[in-house]
Amino acid sequence: MERIDKLYGIGTVFSSPDGIIKAAAEVSGKGYSEFDVNTPYPVHGMDNAMRMKPSKLGYITLIFGLSGAVFALLFMFWAMTRDYPMVIGGKPFFALPAFIPVTFEVTVLLATLSTVIGMIAFFFNFPSNSHPLHETEYMKKVSLDKFGIFIRSDDPQFNEDEIRTLYQNLGGEGIEKIYFPAKADIPLFDPKFITFLAVIAVTASAFTYIALNKLLYMPPYDFMVEQEKLIPQEKSDIFSDNIGMRTPVKGTVARGFVPYPYSGIPSPAEVLTNPLIPTKEILEIGGKRFNIYCSPCHGYYADGDSRLRGQFPNPPSLHSERGRDMADGMIYHIITNGQNIMPSYASQINRDERWAIVHYIRVLQRAKNATSADIEAIKKDTANAQ
């Protein structure tokens, strides 16, 4: 590439870090602003010597890092709570602690990429294949073992004679004038360039096809294709019953779970006492669970008027003398253990909800078999309310 007669700047080189530090301090001290220093490795104290202002690159890193954090959180919030809500392990839809690792990774990714791209593309104006310093003796020296400084011709104080005198006084080893290179006209649709792109595209496509469709199915790269695992509902040849999904070993107790100790015992009522106080909240829970699980057979008021007529025999009314005299523990035991054709509801209703249902049944029984004292108390409460 031929040189054109347009001066880019004047540079000189030094043999030691101390020399380039002194030169940078002297040049910046004389008021030059459009200059730069080139060294084969970082030199401590150069920023202060050049009187460089703090870089604005950190703002790009901060903005894109925060953007990555916001994007990650909003995307996971939308995906997991709005577009396709999923309950995972009983966690809430927006499980913030579980989202933190992904948020951190996206934050670091965008911050890092923006820093590198911003530094190269905006601050250094790279790629710049036709930079005036390329292919100069100055650049060859500072890329090896010399330390160089050059002042650009667009500096407000630029004067060739004064700069030469300054370099000589500082002990510069040779002074080189650097010119802008001639512009090269490279047609976009050059046949050689198009051919090169076509070869790259075909080669990349062929390699991708072979890697994804052939190579991954050949040993030893096929270890992810055939895995020794059992998929739910899949037949298994390992077990004698050919069932892949296994039931827990008999007697297994889940962590934090207390098994019901009276399974199969006819009447443990004397050792079971309702631990809950019949507050308004407890009765509301008991009423909701009763209406969901009990009312289809027992009716909403425990009269035994099943809504499943013809499918199962109607259960007895819980307002009978036997039902009213039944201990709380016995009702809880029947809900937990089942009785006759009534199955156990232990898997559907937890322990406290079962006791809440017992309280609600007592409320239904008292409401339908109220005593004179109960009626008088209701009248008194009604009068006070009015």
* pLDDT one-digit tens code per residue, 311-341: 677 888 888 888 888 889 899 999 988 888 8
Q: Specify whether 52 is located in the same domain as 167.
A: yes
Is residue 358 situated within a structural domain?
Answer: yes
pLDDT of residue 282: 93
Is residue 210 situated within a structural domain?
Answer: yes
Q: Specify whether 82 is located in the same domain as 218.
A: no
Is residue 67 situated within a structural domain?
Answer: yes
Query: By C-alpha distance, which of 348, 319, 324, 326 is closest to 336?
Result: 348
Q: Specify whether 32 is located in the same domain as 156.
A: yes
Q: Specify whether 288 is located in the same domain as 165.
A: no
Which of the listed residues 231, 246, 261 is the one where a domain comes to its end?
Answer: 246
**24-32 — which CB contacts under 8 Å span 24+ positions?**
24/49, 24/50, 24/149, 25/49, 25/50, 26/166, 26/170, 27/149, 27/151, 27/166, 30/157, 30/166, 31/157, 32/151, 32/155, 32/157
Q: Specify whether 41 is located in the same domain as 174.
A: yes
Is residue 299 situated within a structural domain?
Answer: yes
Is residue 258 situated within a structural domain?
Answer: no
pLDDT of residue 73: 94
For residue 131, the enclosing domain spans 1-184
Q: Specify whether 157 is located in the same domain as 190.
A: no
| Conformational region of residue 174, where left means phi above 0, alpha means psi within -120 to 50, and beta covers everything else | left
pTM of the model: 0.44
Taking 80 as the threshold, does the pLDDT of residue 251 lie above it?
no
3: which DSSP letter? E
Q: Which residues contact 98 (CB under 8 A, 6 or more apart)?
A: 91
Q: Specify whether 9 is located in the same domain as 148.
A: yes
Is residue 263 situated within a structural domain?
Answer: no
Taking 60 as the threshold, does the pLDDT of residue 4 lie above it?
no
Is residue 176 situated within a structural domain?
Answer: yes
Count of positions (residues) in the chain: 386
Q: Specify whether 202 is located in the same domain as 77.
A: no
Q: pLDDT tier at 1 (50, 70, 90 boundaries)?
A: very low
Q: Specify whether 164 is located in the same domain as 217.
A: no
pLDDT of residue 310: 64
- Interatomic CA distance for residues 356 and 190, integer angstroms: 83
Q: Specify whether 191 is located in the same domain as 89.
A: no
- C-alpha of 279 from chain center: 42
Half-sphere exposure of 350 (CA within 13 A, CB side): 4
> Looking at the 3D structure of the chain, how many domains does it have?
3
143: which DSSP letter? T
Q: Specify whether 360 is located in the same domain as 279.
A: yes
**What is the CATH number for 321?**
1.10.760.10
- Interatomic CA distance for residues 39 and 43, integer angstroms: 7
Taking 60 as the threshold, does the pLDDT of residue 191 lie above it?
yes
Most confident stretch, 1-10, 35-44, 258-267: 35-44
Q: For 211-243, write each residue's pLDDT tens digit.
A: 999 988 888 888 877 777 788 788 888 888 888
Helix or strand run (H / E) with residue 147: strand 147-152
Beta carbons of 175 and 11 less than 8 angstroms apart: yes
